[in-house]
Amino acid sequence: MSVLTLRSGAFVPGTTQNLTSTGTTQQSAAVSSVASIIRIACQQDTYITIGANPVADASSMMIVGGGSEFLAVVPGVTKVAVKQISTAGLVSITELTGY
């Protein structure tokens, strides 16, 4: 097995944006032009959605408190919208690039 094979699937963390989920949608800045994957980690149960101008609501994807998700994004375009479900909490959005 080559070293390259062992490294496939690894990502390098880049810029992190921290938002606080509230009762209204909070929107991140667009990811950088080199990010292809993001990791979203939530302190509390949170609705999230991604897109060019996303709005999070009760029909959006939910990440449970203490959970995280990895999502593919459009470099330089994708933003993340978050909204608390019942309790405000920190949402950490970290850009990842291939290794």
**Tell me, what amino acid is at 17?**
Q
Q: By the 8 A CB rule, do 40 and 68 touch?
A: yes
**Residue 19, strand partner residues:** 91
Q: Can you read off the two tokens belonging to residue 49?
A: 């959605």
Query: Which pTM does this prediction carry?
Result: 0.88
- The H or E element spanning position 7 is helix 3-7
Q: What domain range is 68 assigned to?
A: 3-98
CATH number of the domain enclosing 63: 2.60.120.10
Domains identified in the chain, total number: 1
Instruction: Determine contact, residues 45/62, Cβ cutoff 8 Å.
Output: yes
Mean pLDDT of the chain: 91
What is the radius of gyration, based on Cα positions, of the chain?
14
The label of the residue with tokens 């405000």 reads 88
| Residue 68 pLDDT exceeds 60 | yes
pLDDT band at 5 (very low <50, low <70, confident <90, very high): very low
